[in-house]
Amino acid sequence: MTKPPSHTPKDSHFARLRRAHRDTSPAPEKADDDTVRLYGLHTVRAALDNPKRRIRRLLATRNALQRLEIDEGAKAAYPLDIVEPRALDRLVGEDAVHQGVVAEVEALTPLRLEALGDARLVLVLDQVTDPHNVGAILRSAVAFGAQALVTASRHSPSESGVLAKAASGALEHIALIEVRNLAEALETLAAQGFQTVGLDSEGPAVLEKTLAGDRLALVLGAEGKGLRQKTRETVNTLARLDMPGAIKSLNVSNAAAIALYAARRHLDGGA
């Protein structure tokens, strides 16, 4: 007797429908090379409130305008188009949770290390390229009072709607610093009085017992490969998060949030 064919999840009726939907869904309309499309209520509200952000056009449903507390009859400093949700789907894709609003903006201009001023807490990312992770890291950084995010000009995600949505408005509240050479930037930070601490699952000491001084730069590497060897050799110290459970590693954005909490407690005298 012949056995009935086995079905894996990818062969299911619903999986085939999802694949067919993705295959037939139109791709988002391409924006100009220097235009970024931000979407989502928190993201767009923060961009509108940022005096350094240049808004080129705002597209929103009437309901979203009310939630943003924007008077559609008032004269704005940017063009305002009242649209239906389908029009926004065409701009950012049907899978984007735009909540009825899209802002077409100019990308923020990256800053140099000199812009740090008297900052006491900064994050440094070593080839973290996933925009969802970087956005989530930005959100935690702003929540815990970090003043800057330092990335290399290569091997880091460019500003995008996906990154900004994950950041939930944090993109507008932190200095974004780009450097050409991360190792040289870490040496400069150390010369400016920062203790540079690399997060490593096999670090010799627990993070909280490693923190010292009144200026901290937390350095995190990409998921999987972690910090590059050159970065490991350049930071002042390597430290690990204390994880007594069966799992010994975290998503980089979660690790960043925990490290930021510990760093903030140290700087505030609570550690």
Q: Do 47 and 122 fall into the same domain?
A: no
Tell me whether residue 186 is in a domain: yes
C-alpha separations of 53 from 7, 44, 57, 108 in Å: 52, 11, 12, 7
Which residues constitute the domain of residue 82?
35-106
Residue 51, domain CATH: 3.30.1330.30
Tell me whether residue 15 is in a domain: no
The DSSP bridge pattern shows strands 35-39 and 101-106 to be antiparallel
Q: What is the pLDDT of residue 76?
A: 76
Per DSSP (E only), the strands in 157-207 are 175-179, 195-199, 205-206
Question: Mean pLDDT, consecutive 10-residue segments, the chain of 271 residues?
Answer: 44 51 51 84 96 95 92 80 94 92 95 94 96 97 98 91 96 96 97 96 92 97 90 96 88 96 93 49
Q: What is the pLDDT of residue 3?
A: 45
Given 106, 140, 158, the domain boundary residue is 106
Q: Do 152 and 198 fall into the same domain?
A: yes
Q: What is the pLDDT of residue 114?
A: 92
Count the domains in the chain: 2
**Residues 132 and 167 sit within 8 Å (Cβ to Cβ):** no
Q: What is the pLDDT of residue 198?
A: 97
Tell me whether residue 210 is in a domain: yes
pTM of the model: 0.85
Q: Virtual CA dihedral for 43, 104, 252, 264, nearest 10 degrees?
A: -50
Tell me whether residue 21 is in a domain: no
Q: What is the pLDDT of residue 77?
A: 84
Q: Do 117 and 102 fall into the same domain?
A: no
**Roughly what angle, to the nearest 10 degrees, separates helices 131-143 and 252-267?**
20
Tell me whether residue 144 is in a domain: yes
Alpha-carbon distance of 234 to 183, in angstroms, equals 6
- The tokens for 28 are 């988002």
